[in-house]
Structures are given as C-alpha cells and as structure tokens.
Structure 1
Amino acid sequence: MKALKNIFVGFLVSFIGSIPLGYLNIIGFEVYSKTGMNNLLLYLLGVITIEAIVIYCTLLFADKLSRSKKLMKFIDLFSIIFMLILAYIFYSQSKSEESSESQLSEYLQYSGYLIGIIFSCLNFMQIPFWLGWNVYVVNAKYIRLGKKLNLVYLAGTLIGSFSGIFTVVMILNKVTEGTNLLSKYLLSHIIPLFFVGMAFYQAYKFYKKYY
C-alpha cells in the first residue's frame, strides 16, 4: 500500500508539473515533428535521466529536513510560499512564451537522447521545484521514505514526467495554432489556481498545527 501511494503521488506531482507548455515540451514537439517518434522517445529518456538525479538528490535532502523537528515550522511556511511562487511562475510564463526554432535546428542533427540530456541540464527550475515538492510530500506524510520506497517514488515521478511531456507533444501534433490559446489558458488559469488552492490548504494546516 505504501509503495502504491508513493508511486501515485510521484506520478501525479510529476505529470501535473509536466503539462504546462514549457520549453522542454516545445523542444520535444520539434524533435518529434522533424525526426519522428523514435527520436522523441530517446529525447524523453534523456530528459528523465537528468531528472532522476535531481529528484533523488532533493528527496534525500528532504528526508534530512523532515527529521529535524526544529525546522518543521520553517518547512511548513516555506511550502505555502513555494506554492504561491509556482502559481506566479506558471502564470507569468503564459505571458512570455517564445519559440526558438532557429536555435533548435542545430541540435536536431544529434541523437534525441543527447538533446534531452542537454536541455534537461539547462532546466534549472526543476531543482527548486522538486526540492519544494519533496519537502512538502514528505512533511505532509503523503509518501513514506525508505530505500525501496524512495525508488518506487522516483519511478512514479519519472513515469509522470515521461507521460506528461509525451501527452503535450501529441496534443501539439494534432491541433492547429489554436493550441497556443489552450496552453496559455492552462498556464494562466488551471495550473496557477491549483497551486493557489494547495497554498491555502497548507496555510489552513499551518494555522491549525501551530496556532
């Protein structure tokens, strides 16, 4: 049961985080449209290879934080602020989306796996994203930690990222330019509201726990 909960929470967090139209999704669409399905799958494997390292390292750090009772209040407060920051980031991203086909074209000559590695390494936002989420799910006891349970959680997050980016790429491939409107709506409304809701929920738990 613990393993199933870990993999479900990992999948859910990662899938939702992958849905907004970020640059990794745009690059994945370019890889698919220019070089086909096989290269897209290699690209996604490259992306989650780096993500696996980031998630596992931040999870270990979150474990240490969760064991320190003196930091629990700070962690709870940080989780609330982090949710609001994520809501703002996703909202503001919808106002400044850019596509860079000319810069991407020079990379498309390489293996999709290498492209995924390169651009995932440049995705610095995943570090605070996963640190914040891992602190949150550990502190809120949504997942249980342990050597095997950590790997199960990691597997769930990687499946979620792979599935999320793949889903967005397939949608982009099937619809017209109207997709830009849809993606902006998701970024500026649904995803930010989700994070704001989580922030309010955490604020309620924070008040109930400490006051």
Structure 2
Amino acid sequence: MNYITPLFFGFISAFIGIIPPGLINMTAAKVNHKEGKRNALWFVFGAVLIICVQVFFSILFAKVINRRPDLVTLLREIGFGIFSTLTVYFLWLAKKPKDKTKKYTQNSKANRFFQGMLLSSLNFFPIPYYVFVSITLASYQLFSFEKTTILIFVNGVLIGSFLVFYLYISFFNKIENKRDFIMKNMNTIIGCITGLVSIITLINIIKYYW
C-alpha cells in the first residue's frame, strides 16, 4: 500500500474532526492569550498525546469489527441514527450556548500538559469517530489494518491535530474578535457537521443494500 495515503487521510480526518470550535482548541487559544505560547503548546502536547492513544485503540477496535461485515453494517445504521438525532437536536432543539468567560491563573508547563491530557481524556468523540473513519476508508480500500499503516495513520492524525491546535493558538486574536458569532452559531456548525456525516453514512448503507 502507498503509505502516503494513510498519512494523508489521518491528517484530513484529524483536521475535519478538530477544526470546529470546541473545549480543547478554544482552551489552547485562551491559554496562549493569557499565559503565552509556551504554556499553550504544552497544553496541546498533552491533548495530542491522548488523542493519538485514542486513535490507536479505536483502529484496533475497528479492525475486530471489520472482520464481521454484518457488524459493520449494523454500526453504520446505528451511526446514522445517532448522527441524524444529533443533527436534529443541534439545528432545531438545542438552546444557544452562553458565553461564560473564565478567569485564568498562571500555571506551570507541567500543569498545562496534564490539563491537556485530562481534557482530551474526557472527550470520547475521537473513539467512535475514528472507528467510523477507519472502517469507511477500509471499505473503499483506502486503508488497511496492517501495523505499519495504522502507525502512519496515527502519525497523520498527530500532525493534523497539532496543526489545528497551532492555528487556534496563532490566530486567537481573530477568533476572539469573532467569539460572539461562533458562540451564537455553535449549534449550527456542529449540526451541519453531523448532518454531513449522516448523509455519507446513509449513502454507504444504501450502496450496501443496493
């Protein structure tokens, strides 16, 4: 297999999964604003470390599931139901999030590193996300569950995740100026993303039964 392919898709999947404003990337940006880039980067290192571990075990789990085509189809159907429900919720039912500004105190690099690990550990979204991504890519023969390919994919995720976090850190001032807009439209942004995933999943289900 061309090893550039898993690196590319690891990078793209991480970029798409992390680019929407969320707790981790916005916290990294605010740490940079309050404490400087060095502490923000240590926070990012901690977060990315946990993300890579989550991705690795997600793919191992996906490898087991991929051996059972019936389970793959079932998971796609369950995934479609979950993402469709989330789309309806975020676009029409959820209340607009309130902007709660928190005071930041100066922390050491080690504290920020472990805080990044903690916040990333509490975020379980990467696990089902990368299970879904790896199985979908494998179904199109764009990914294989070989050890080398998995490690290269994880490295792609590492690069993509770090780049997104770094962009949030570097362009925080622009993000800060548009914070009100982002907060008001957060549910719409998330709803559009889950809606897109729902459509892709539905297409795969239809193709399977067709």
1:162-173 to 2 correspondences below 5 Å: 162-173=162-173
Instruction: State the match for 1:200 in structure 2.
Output: 199
Instruction: State the match for 2:44 in structure 1.
Output: 44
Instruction: State the match for 1:78 in structure 2.
Output: 78
Distance 2:137 2:89 in 1: 20
Instruction: State the match for 1:155 in structure 2.
Output: 155
- Using the TM superposition, name which of 72-81 and 60-69 deviates more: 72-81
Distance 2:181 2:140 in 1: 35
2:35 pairs with 1:35: yes
Confirm or deny: 8 A CA contact 1:48 1:161 kept in the other structure.
yes
- Cα deviation, residue 160, structure 1: 1.2
Distance 2:86 2:143 in 1: 21
Change (3 A) 1:90 1:42: farther
1:100-179 to 2 correspondences below 5 Å: 100-102=101-103, 105-106=104-105, 108-111=106-109, 112-179=112-179
Confirm or deny: 8 A CA contact 1:6 1:149 kept in the other structure.
yes
1:181-196 to 2 correspondences below 5 Å: 181-182=181-182, 184-185=184-185, 188-189=188-189, 192-196=191-195
Instruction: State the match for 1:96 in structure 2.
Output: 97
Q: With structure 1 as the length reference, what TM-score do the two structures score?
A: 0.82
2:205 pairs with 1:210: no
Structure 2 residue runs without a partner (length 5+): none
Q: With structure 2 as the length reference, what TM-score do the two structures score?
A: 0.82
* 1:105-132 CA distance string (max 9 Å, x none): 35x4132322211221222333333333
Q: What is the RMSD of the two structures over their aligned residues, measured on CA atoms?
A: 2.8
Change (3 A) 1:27 1:142: same
Distance 2:137 2:98 in 1: 30
- Cα deviation, residue 181, structure 1: 0.6
- Cα deviation, residue 175, structure 1: 5.0
* 1:142-188 CA distance string (max 9 Å, x none): 32221110000001111111111222233322355333314654751
Distance 1:162 1:67 in 2: 32
Confirm or deny: 8 A CA contact 2:97 2:183 kept in the other structure.
no
Confirm or deny: 8 A CA contact 1:20 1:183 kept in the other structure.
no
Confirm or deny: 8 A CA contact 2:28 2:168 kept in the other structure.
no
Confirm or deny: 8 A CA contact 2:37 2:169 kept in the other structure.
no
Change (3 A) 1:90 1:139: farther
Distance 2:98 2:16 in 1: 19
Structure 2: which amino acid aligns with 1:110? S
Equivalent pairs counted in the alignment come to 207
Query: What percent identity do the matched residue pairs reach?
Result: 23
Distance 2:79 2:30 in 1: 35
2:40 pairs with 1:8: no
Distance 1:139 1:27 in 2: 36
Structure 2: which amino acid aligns with 1:149? T
Structure 1: which amino acid aligns with 2:46? G
